[in-house]
Structure 1
Amino acid sequence: MLGVFGVSSVVSQYSAHEWEERDEWMDVARIIQLAGVEKGQTVADIGCHEGYMSMYLAEAVGPTGQVLAEDISNYRLERLADNAAERGLVNIQTILGKESDPLLPARTVDIVFVIDAYHEMKQPQAMLRHFRNSLRAGGKIVILEKLKSQVRNKSRKEQVNAHSLGPKIVRKELEAAGFKIVREALDLGDWEKNPKKKIWCLVAEFEESDP
């Protein structure tokens, strides 16, 4: 069964018929490289919508790996399952999550991807704890967002209201949740080719406390 973190509004570039256009401005290969995806891994795609990122991740982890595609919209998950079937991808499992809990299995995920969905989360610290609990030892979380120029240096609330979020805020929240930033890319191009919407990405590992 396929699934993704739910974002209730319909957002452009997330429907399958718009994926080719999205390929023109989103460097998925670079994102996967930054994350360090390897064959055979289990990765989670949080807020997967109809599966744009999930399809690429399924190819990246190969037939011995698995993609956990999570969303709170059953409709989107059904569309994702259809898209996967059309491409002959059988290593994607959907998860119908909740707004407060992605319902990922504990200690099974190598990398959690949160692509343009973190700013939608009403309880980010709680979600980060859930992501942390889903990770294997040495697991990572990848958060990618867009920062709009009109809300740069504004408060978190102002950024979120603009469907945007900056890396400084997310870095602090990751560190507060026990994660350590291990890689970053603060200019991954322009969202929808709009120079006022800069794409950035942080990769973090959970730091286990000494017993």
Structure 2
Amino acid sequence: MKKYHSTLWLFFLGLVVCEAQYTEEDWPERDLWMKTEYLLQLSGIESGDKVADIGCHEGYLSIRLARLVKDEGRVYAVDVRSDRLETLRENAADRNLKNIITIRGDYDDPKLPEDELDAIFIIDTYHEMDSHEKILRHVKDALKVGGKVILLEKLKDRVRGKSRRDQVNAHSLGPKYVRRELRQAGFTVISEIGDHGDWERDDSKQMWIIIAQK
């Protein structure tokens, strides 16, 4: 019984940690270890662009994108949970940002407008997408010709070299699977960073980035 309670506690603790990493008080620290300014520079996003943040949670990246594209641009912030989107709207209102449009997506459809977006960000979310092939089709449909998808994930040491299923079960994913899936969906990989640093400064979780173009 004691072992059961210990396991249950660790499970709930894991959920709390997962939620906490996206809350507003952790954003300044996240800027540093995720090298967010560099990530945004890599994307080439400019004032007036229309972009999307799939898996936006409470708005960490959406807020930064909204400031980058300015009033002339648009940010489509997508999440499957309405409570996260409500918090995002509050965070945007507190900063007087009016260029963020929130979308409650489905697990297999982000519900983005077609042929309109300059870039779509999928940050630490792609590994959660069971219907990744369908999602990538929707992403491609939403992008303009020449539009880009920017993916950032973490690969944990303990599942390095293992199957896609093993990696996903560990809330992780390696670039070789994503690179192949992007090409199968008709994207061209234009940039790749194999080591973007350590997720939450944990040296057993290596971040990587792939940028692909429609």
Provide TM-score, normalisation by structure 1.
0.91
Cα shift readout 1:125-145 (whole Å, capped 9, x = no counterpart): 100000000011111111110
- Give distance in 2, aligned partners of 1:184 and 1:34: 10
Helix, strand or coil for the counterpart of 1:94?
Answer: strand
- Give distance in 1, aligned partners of 2:211 and 2:26: 27
Q: State the partner residue of 1:19.
A: 27
Report the RMSD for the aligned CA atoms in angstroms. 1.0
Q: Tell me, which stretches of 5 or more residues in structure 1 are unaligned? A: 1-8, 207-211
Q: Does 1:82 align with 2:90?
A: yes
1:133 to 141, 147, 154: 141
Q: State the partner residue of 1:120.
A: 128
- Give distance in 2, aligned partners of 1:24 and 1:138: 30
Q: State the partner residue of 1:173.
A: 181
> By how many angstroms is 1:16 displaced?
1.3
Q: Does 1:72 align with 2:51?
A: no
Q: State the partner residue of 1:62.
A: 70
Name whichever structure is richer in helix by fraction: 2
1:163 to 155, 161, 171: 171
Q: Does 1:53 align with 2:58?
A: no
Q: State the partner residue of 2:4.
A: none
Provide TM-score, normalisation by structure 2.
0.90
Q: Tell me, which stretches of 5 or more residues in structure 2 are unaligned? A: 1-14
Q: State the partner residue of 1:43.
A: 51
Q: Does 1:191 align with 2:199?
A: yes
- Give distance in 2, aligned partners of 1:60 and 1:136: 19
Q: Does 1:202 align with 2:213?
A: no
CA contact (8 A) 2:194 2:209 kept: yes
1:28 to 32, 36, 41: 36
- Give distance in 2, aligned partners of 1:186 and 1:35: 16
- Give distance in 1, aligned partners of 2:95 and 2:89: 10
CA contact (8 A) 2:119 2:147 kept: yes
Indicate the structure whose relative CO is greater, using CA pairs within 8 Å and at least 6 residues apart.
1
> By how many angstroms is 1:19 displaced?
1.3
> By how many angstroms is 1:185 displaced?
1.4
One-letter code of the match for 1:113? F
> By how many angstroms is 1:20 displaced?
2.2
- Give distance in 1, aligned partners of 2:135 and 2:22: 22
Q: Percent identity?
A: 51
- Give distance in 2, aligned partners of 1:113 and 1:26: 14
Cα shift readout 1:80-105 (whole Å, capped 9, x = no counterpart): 00001111111111011100110001
> By how many angstroms is 1:172 displaced?
0.3
CA contact (8 A) 2:33 2:200 kept: yes
- Give distance in 2, aligned partners of 1:18 and 1:27: 14
- Give distance in 2, aligned partners of 1:169 and 1:177: 12
One-letter code of the match for 2:138? H
> By how many angstroms is 1:21 displaced?
2.4
Helix, strand or coil for the counterpart of 1:82?
Answer: helix
- Give distance in 1, aligned partners of 2:195 and 2:182: 19
Q: Does 1:97 align with 2:105?
A: yes
- Give distance in 1, aligned partners of 2:37 and 2:195: 15
